[in-house]
Chains A and B, each alone.
Chain A
């Protein structure tokens, strides 16, 4: 049983570019959450998707957007990249109303 998988593992972009990160949830999970983890910090909640809709959102600008597909996989899009967007982006999945969130290994984004 595969856990949460994320791609790509690493990504290097320049300021102003756009990026798309991908996540496949754990088998049997239908809820996907995205977190941003800056170096030396705890993860910060970006948003959560269920039934292909954004259900709740953290304190992140509109440059951060997402999508969930019918197979429950999800994408995180970031437009107009800033240097401060450099971080580890984590995807977590859970069953509907489940409290336990399982995390993927993350995508390391570097913005130059």
Chain B
């Protein structure tokens, strides 16, 4: 019930294409859903985050779509660039009084080909 399931495990996209990564969760107490980007040898960096009262959030080329009834959310990277090649993690957390710890998905290794 504490798990976040992420797919696909790896993704290859051509430059200019759309990258789509999906996540699903079970615990309806989760109320904060961030996406992190991690380059080799670096720590995860926050990319974009959403709360369940919003169905979509867009920041530049990155968009989160959220489906509360299906308990699923996804990251779309528009006009993917080789510099976007990294590992992406979705995560979920409950409010601080219920824990606040981040539960991460398994990660998606994205490769954008020039």
Q: Contact residues of A with B, CB < 8 Å?
A: 4, 33, 35, 40-45, 48, 56, 58, 90, 92, 94, 96-97, 99-106
Cβ B89 vs Cβ A99 within 8 A: no
Judge if B32 is at the interface, Cβ distance under 8 Å: yes
How many chain-B residues does the 8 Å CB contact rule pick out? 25
B93 touching A99 by the CB < 8 A rule?
yes
Q: Find out whether the CB atom of B107 lies under 8 angstroms from the CB atom of A42.
A: yes
Give the contacting residue for B100; candidates A41, A43, A99; CB below 8 A: A99
Contacts of A40 in B (CB 8 A): 107
Contact pick for B107, options A41, A58, A103, A105, CB 8 Å: A41
Contact B43 A41 (CB under 8 A): no
B103 & A106 in contact (Cβ 8 Å cutoff) = no
- Please state if A56 and B101 are interface contacts (CB–CB under 8 Å): yes
For residue A30, give the distance in angstroms from its CB to the closest CB of chain B: 12
* Most chain B beta carbons < 10 A, residue from A41, A43, A104: A43
B102 contacts partner chain A, Cβ-Cβ < 8 Å: yes
Question: Count of A-B contacts with CB under 8 A?
Answer: 59
A94 / chain B contacts, CB cutoff of 8 Å: 100
In the bound complex, how far is the Cα of B45 from the Cα of A105, in angstroms? 9
Smallest CB gap from A108: residue in B:
B41
Identify whether the interface residues of A are mostly helix, strand, loop, or mixed. loop
A43 to B36 CA separation, bound complex (whole angstroms): 11
CB B113 to nearest CB in A, in angstroms, measures: 21
Q: Would B100 and A106 count as touching, CB distance under 8 A?
A: no
Beta-carbon contact of A48 and B42 below 8 Å: no
Partner of A56, one of B42, B45, B99: B99
CB of B46 within 8 A of chain A?
yes
Residue of A nearest to B89 (CB): A42
Pick from B32, B100, B103: contact of A48, CB under 8 Å: B100
Q: Which residues on A sit within 8 Å (CB–CB) of B100?
A: 48, 56, 94, 97, 99
Q: Check B43 against A90 for contact (C-beta < 8 Å).
A: yes
Given contacts A41-B107, A44-B104, A105-B41, contact A100 B34 (CB under 8 A): yes
CA distance A40 to B99 in the complex (A): 25
State how many angstroms separate the Cβ of B54 from the closest Cβ of chain A. 14
